[in-house]
């Protein structure tokens, strides 16, 4: 089981998640969008050790805080192998069009579809869900999906960026729709939802 804390940070209000395995206390951060004093304070209050950073994709508004966390805590950085070019290339990660410089960082573990990340006794499964970018992905653990910019409440992520594809997005959303059972969905922006709610009300899932 996990404890989940959401921080809305960065220039366009990205949902950054601090997750903690209840059994062991191990910590991971999903999509550190930028510097956040409260995030750092919570990590320090929980023991000052960050085990993993999990990236759903490489756009600047999801990775601006990675280098700072790596310098302070030395976690393992995980991202899709298909997303490495997006993370490296300023025109792909949208930092160049916005006149932004991302402090460099290294992806320590390049994930394939179906790979798992162990956080104490919590196992997070990586699902490759291209569409928003060519290597976008979701992390699934317990009854939770951290969906990045793939699935939103009654919508999906934009597909008008470099490496985006609407046809890929529709296939990815179909994969999520076909998961068995219900899940709490924690997206990269805006409000939380559930998979069952999206099956009923999201026009991209009908």
Domain ranges of the chain: 2-205
pTM, whole model, 2 decimals? Answer: 0.97
What is the arithmetic mean of pLDDT over 159-181?
98
Q: Is pLDDT of 206 > 90?
A: no
pLDDT in tens, 111-148: 999 999 999 999 999 999 999 999 999 999 999 999 99
Q: What are phi and psi of 164, to 5 degrees?
A: -75, 160
pLDDT (tens digit per residue) in 40-90: 999 999 999 999 999 999 999 999 999 999 999 999 999 999 999 999 999
Residue 122's DSSP bridge partners are 119
State the pLDDT at residue 158.
Answer: 98
The beta strands (E) that lie in 81-161 are given as 109-111, 116-119, 122-128, 137-141, 144-148, 151-152, 155-156
Name the residue among 104, 205, 100, 97 with its Cα closest to residue 160.
Answer: 97
Pairwise CA distance, residues 30 & 149, whole Å: 12
- Looking at domain 2-205, its CATH architecture is 4-Layer Sandwich (3.60)
């Amino acid at each position: 089981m996990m404890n989940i804390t959401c921080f809305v940070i960065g220039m366009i209000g990205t949902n950054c998640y601090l997750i903690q395995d209840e059994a062991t206390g191990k910590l991971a951060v999903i999509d550190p969008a930028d510097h956040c004093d409260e995030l750092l304070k919570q990590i320090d209050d929980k023991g000052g050790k960050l085990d993993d950073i999990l990236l759903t994709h490489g756009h600047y508004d999801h990775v601006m805080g990675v280098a700072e966390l790596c310098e302070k805590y030395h976690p393992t950085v995980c991202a899709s192998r298909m997303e490495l070019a997006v993370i490296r290339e300023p025109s792909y990660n949208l930092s160049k069009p916005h006149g932004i410089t991302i402090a460099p960082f290294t992806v320590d573990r390049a994930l394939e579809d179906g790979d798992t990340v162990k956080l104490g006794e919590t196992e997070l499964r990586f699902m490759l869900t291209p569409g928003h970018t060519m290597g976008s992905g979701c992390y699934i653990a317990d009854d939770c999906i951290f969906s990045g910019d793939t699935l939103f409440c009654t919508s999906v992520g934009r597909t008008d960026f470099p490496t985006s594809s609407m046809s890929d997005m529709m296939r990815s959303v179909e994969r999520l729709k076909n998961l068995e059972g219900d899940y709490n969905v924690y997206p990269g922006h805006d409000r939380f939802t559930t998979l069952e709610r999206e099956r009923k009300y999201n026009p991209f899932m009908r």
